[in-house]
Amino acid sequence: MSTGLSDNEIIGKVLRGDQQAYAGLVERYQNYVFTLAMRFTKNREDAEEASQDIFIKAYRSLADFRGASKFSTWLYTIVNTTCITFLRKRKLETYSLDHEKIFEMADSKDSGFRANLVEQKSRTNMVNEAITLLGHDDAEIITLFYKAEQSLEEIGKILGLDPKTAKVRLHRARQRLKEKMETYFAEEVKDLN
């Protein structure tokens, strides 16, 4: 397997014809891609389908990766375009992420939603649920910074922003996330303390 090799070394192997080496890249970035896809699709099944498309597209365009940026940065551009195309194709109802509306919708679609929220006490679930209550821009920057562990410079590159603007946007997103957690997950936050 390609474990232990750097991204560029694996890419080199794949480009030289070792298709199986690509599995190393998939394993390394599947959670990153899947989490980002979840921010767009809001459900696991669609996120998984979109993530597969993303890795297939990335494989087909691998010769275009010049190594000027990190592989994850390049991959994010594919995540973004593929997810938008995916949603367009599916004609998914794009929900307004206004919290009142989302709870109204959740109540009407699944009365067990709130009950499930209370049950989901794990840190990851709570944070992920809170992130889904944010607007796309806020959710995106928090996911990139905390979950994908991208630096502000890299986030700036990915989102086409100045690192200072990315920093301000991150501050605001964290503030809004904190408010959501305090409003909707006060009990869980208390339990975690």
Partner 1 sequence: METQKHIEEHLWDYIDGTISSEEKTIIEQLLLSNTEWKNKYLELLETHRILQSSGLEAPSLRFTKNVMEGISKYHIAPATKTYINKRIIWGIGFFFIAIFVGFLVYGFGQIDWTAKGDNNLSIDLSRLDINKFFNNTYINIFMMINVVLGLFLLDNYFSHKRKSFQKKV
Distances, alpha carbon 140 to alpha carbons 23, 31, 44, 82, 192, in Å:
26, 15, 17, 15, 24
Show Cβ contacts of residue 190 under 8 Å, excluding neighbours closer than 6 positions.
none
Q: Site map for partner 1, 82-121, x if CB under 8 A?
A: -xx--xx-----x---------------------------
Which region, judged by CB under 8 A, interacts with partner 1, from 57-65, 69-77, 99-107, 110-118? Answer: 57-65
Residue 142 engages partner 1 in binding (rule: CB under 8 A): yes
Which of 31, 104, 114, 118 lies at the binding interface for partner 1 (CB under 8 A)?
31
Give Dmax (Cα) for the chain: 54
Which region, judged by CB under 8 A, interacts with partner 1, from 71-79, 102-110, 154-162, 163-171? Answer: 163-171
Structure tokens at 11: 């890419």
Structure tokens at 145: 């910074």
Alpha-carbon distance of 60 to 151, in angstroms, equals 27
Nearer to partner 1, 110 or 153 (CB): 153
User: How many residues make contact with partner 1 (CB under 8 A)?
Assistant: 57
Tell which phi-psi region holds residue 17, choosing left (phi > 0), alpha (psi between -120 and 50) or beta: left
Alpha-carbon distance of 83 to 50, in angstroms, equals 6
Residues that bind partner 1 (CB under 8 A): 14-15, 19-20, 22-23, 26-27, 30-32, 34-35, 38, 40, 44, 47-48, 51-52, 55-56, 59-64, 83-84, 87-88, 94, 123-124, 126-128, 136-137, 142, 146-148, 152, 167-168, 170-171, 174-175, 177-178, 181, 189, 192-193
